[in-house]
A and B are shown apart, each in its own frame.
Chain A
Amino acid sequence: MDPAKPDSSDTEQLLQQAHAGDGRAFEDLFARHRAYLHQVVALRLDPRIRPRLDPSDVVQEAQLDAYRRFKDFLERRPMSFRLWLRKTTYERLLMLQRFHRCAARRSVDREVGLPDKSAFALVQQLLARGSTPSRHLEQSETARRVREVLAQMSEVDREILLMRNLEALTNQEAAEALEIEPVAASQRYGRALLRLRKLLRANGLMGSKS
């Protein structure tokens, strides 16, 4: 499903069924978002703990979390269901990542590596959306270096860039997910881009004249 859309009417209907006491609605609801959640995790999963932790594991545990909190969600409806699931999953990811990293005894710690892996779906989705007009560069080499630059950025900056460009969240959604005002989210996006530009330039990926 396209993550840029707000909860669809189908989702809404299922939510209402769940609210009315339909126990199986949750399963359906979760199933609809599984691919997206997988992608959210895959984009962020520390490659060095991948041997221990698969995105599907994270999603599965997140499903349990979400199930436990589902009733509360239905009563309060603090945000769209999709964002709420995303948030639940993201929290679980952070914890699990931390856990496994600790388990690996710090050795994989410290350095930032951008998550390496595998959301095939995401790639295809992006390709399907039509790739951007970019110059014919040595693309893979450039991509590799951009990725390294991203890995150097602070998590705050990187997160908003990933959300807007890889997860295709809207500004409003990103703001909700980050629990900040939309204005702040857009400002954060701007700031992250300005920093990215600086780093790209420092890494010779962008013209050097100011």
Chain B
Amino acid sequence: MSMPPTQAAPSVEALVGRIADEFTQRLDRGEHPSIEEYAAANPAIAGVLREALQALELLRLPDLQTAITEGDPFLTAPLGDFRLVRRIGGGGMGVVYEARQISLNRSVAVKILPLAAALDPRQLQRFKKESEAAANLKHEHVVPVYVVGYERGVHFYAMQFIEGLSLAAVVGEMRRLAGMEQAEPEATAPYLPDASNAGTDTLPLATLATEGSTRSPEYFRIIGRLGLEAAEGLEHAHQMDVLHRDIKPANLLVDQRGSLWITDFGLAQMRSDARLTRTGELIGTVRYMSPEQALAKRVVVDHRTDIYSLGATLYELATLEPVFKGADRQELLRQIAFDDPTPPRRLNKRIPRDLETIISSAMAKAPARRYPSAREMAEDLRLFLSGQPIKARPEGLLRWLGRRLRRQVASLLLALAAFISLVVLAFMLLSTKQPSPLGTQLSPEEKEVKRREEALAALNHDLGLGKKVTLIGEVGRPAYFRWRTDDTHGNIAQPLDGPFEVMHLEYGLVELLPDPRQERYRFSAEVRHERESIHEGRVGVYFAHSEIPAGNTNAHFYCAVDFNDLIDQGANGRNIVRLEAQRQPPKGLENNTAIVEETEAEFTPAKVIGAPGPWRTIEVEVRPESITIFWEGICIGRTPRATLMMSARPLLNKPPQPLATNPEFPPRGGLGLFVTKAVASFRNVTLEPID
């Protein structure tokens, strides 16, 4: 916002400002100035002044500092209908808060999804669909989801607040009591971060933890009952066509009555899409994955995946050991897909044979070998609990032998797969471009590449006919573009309804055309230097770009017309728009950058604050004999090619590495957008052949 001209008489603002300034200074000195004194001394504005100073004092509430600087963004303002009370846990799938639903005045748990931000609309759509389906589940062993919402930039859902523990915490505690090390830090409860202070007097834990518990038949009956309840909850969900996809101890809660609740229905989908860097979380997730999930990235899984994972969970409860202990993701995936777990009874002889059989049946590698439904698993668990013979049979010796053979074929396949991933990995490491974390989805990306190629072909066609082409329109993105420099520190925003925006934290060229296809052309663009730039940054356009091998990478040569609209760089509060020939050496040799200023003109920078600054028009007429620059429609100079060549020469004498040849100034060559340490918007970018 620009400053209004100063009025003759001091405005109320100026007056209040002056007094507030003094008032603030006195507060800073530790004094206690009196608002009333100031009000009395300025009777004409006593009313507003009093309130303005009161407002000022509110800014100094110690609690305000706390509110602003407190670690948690969500605790301070309500999230829709929910006022978050305290954080009760965090995990791979988000942070859980105890909260108050304002309208119904009830206690709820609100889970805030992490990186919902990073999901694309398609993924969000799917999340919404899934979580809404999950919200329809009504079962005594499924945590009811009350609301699925989006507020203040985050996706969250509110569910019944269950006071209790997750089975992950139970296992952790059991292991601790059994004198085993707490080996799986990632497996802690999403609900109660610290299992040890969660009150060992709550029922299940108390029962579970009685001495010698892991040996007592009672312990395994409890496991059987918990498994039964989970299976019943799953069966209900499966009936409603909702898969969980991520059944694991951390997602099974036990309340204070000892009743089991399944939570986080429909969320696993999100996780499989999130490319997590935090390996620990990923491993926590992977551990209970079904073999079919482990084998393929995007396999269509069915309800039997949940059955497997429930089996793996019961296995861990019974043995207090995870099914597989692979140290990293790859190893775990391999084990899940191909290895047989140690039979539970080999780890703990007290485990009833039938419980072992139930667990093994649930965990068969092939889905077709598992219980066909959660109902059948529940049925067997019920039989086990009532002491009757179960229906599942332990795997026979013959079947086992058959599997051995198949496994040999499988290991061959695995070796092949491992080799392929190695090649892919090597390729990724060697490629200088760092794939953006969001951009690795292949098919849309490939589509986009194809789209751009087609667009470029169309542009080239028109240029070949001598037509004027529009590279960027009034709004929206270019038909064709690509980063010409390292994009690790760059970003392109391409709103459909807003101007095309490029930012680069260091130095970026975005190509709009690899070649104008003629030697005489006019390149025009409207450029806006956005405020969130580093002040010394510059924005504009470039042309006549060429790349010369220098050492193991390339040096860039180009001409740029650029400016800075944020600060005064010239004398007298004026700024400079300039044409320069540049050589950008390979990364790591930044200090070698040389600039030759050829043409420049002064202008008054907009020094925008708050509102967007002005659009600046740049036109460049390139001919083999000269370059002519127009700034805001006015010709600011013509540079003969000879001069430019001459000034370009010295540049080339000191290349970062000896160059095979010195580049000629090409009237042709790549052209596009120039952004260094800045954010800029671009529109109405055109290229037309001239005489």
A: residues with CB less than 8 A from B are 4, 42-43, 47-48, 50-51, 65, 69, 87, 91-92, 94-99, 102-111, 113-120, 122-123, 126-127, 129-134, 139-140, 142-144, 146-148, 150-151, 154-156, 161, 164-166, 168, 170-171, 178-180, 183-184, 186-191, 193-194, 196-197, 200-201, 205-207, 210
- Between A and B, 24 residue pairs with Cβ closer than 8 Å are A43-B68, A51-B114, A104-B115, A105-B120, A110-B153, A116-B76, A123-B62, A129-B30, A134-B58, A139-B61, A143-B67, A156-B609, A161-B59, A164-B21, A184-B3, A187-B17, A189-B20, A189-B24, A190-B13, A190-B15, A191-B13, A193-B55, A201-B51, A207-B51
Residues of B close to A116: CB separation below 8 A = 68-73, 76
A126 x B72 contact (CB < 8 A): no
Q: How far is the CA of A165 from the CA of B28 in the complex (A)?
A: 8
Q: In the assembled complex, which residues on chain A have CB atoms less than 8 Å from the CB atom of B533?
A: 91, 94-95
The binding surface of chain A is classed by DSSP as: helix
Does A109 contact B67, Cβ atoms closer than 8 Å? no
Residues of A within 8 A of B17 (CB): 186-191, 193
Contact A99 B20 (CB under 8 A): no
CB-based contact B64/A98 at 8 Å? no
| B534 x A111 contact (CB < 8 A) | no
Number of interface residues of B (CB under 8 A): 77
Q: Produce 1/0 per residue, B110-130, CB < 8 A to A.
A: 000011111110000000000
Decide if B65 is an interface residue (CB 8 Å cutoff).
yes
CA–CA, A107 and B154, complex, Å:
8
A119 touching B69, Cβ below 8 Å: yes
User: CB distance B679 to A95 under 8 Å?
Assistant: yes
Which of B20, B77, B120 interacts with A144 by CB under 8 Å?
A: B77
Residues of B within 8 A of A190 (CB): 12-20, 52
CB within 8 Å for A118 and B58 given contacts A96-B505, A133-B32, A179-B607? no
- Chain A residues with CB below 8 A from B197, complex form: none
Does B69 contact A143, Cβ atoms closer than 8 Å?
A: no
B residues 1-47 touching A (CB-CB < 8 Å): 1, 3, 6, 11-21, 24-25, 27-28, 30, 32, 47
Inter-subunit contact A200/B55 (CB<8 Å): yes
In the complex formed, the residue of B with least CB distance to A104 is: B117
Q: Which residues of A contact B118 (CB under 8 A)?
A: 103-105, 107
Q: Is B654 an interface residue (CB 8 A)?
A: no
**Within 8 Å of chain A (Cβ to Cβ): is B532?**
yes
Q: Which residue of A lies closest to B33 (CB)?
A: A133
Listed residue (B68, B72, B152, B532) with the most chain A CB atoms within 10 angstroms of its CB:
B68
Task: List A contacts of B55 (CB < 8 A).
Answer: 193, 196-197, 200, 206
- Tell me the bound Cα distance from A196 to B61 in angstroms: 15
What is the CA–CA distance of A187 and B54 in the complex, to the nearest angstrom? 18
Known: A94-B533, A113-B152. A139 touches B58 (CB 8 A): no
Question: In the complex, which residues of chain A have a beta carbon less than 8 angstroms from the beta carbon of B62?
Answer: 123, 126-127, 131, 139
B677 at the interface (CB under 8 A from A): yes
B493 touches A102 (CB 8 A): yes
Q: How far is it, in angstroms, between the C-alpha of A200 and the C-alpha of B91 when the chains are bound? A: 37
Which A residue sits closest to B16, measured CB to CB?
A: A190
Assuming the A-B contacts A133-B32, A183-B14, A193-B55, are A164 and B24 also in contact, with contact meaning beta carbons closer than 8 angstroms in the complex?
yes
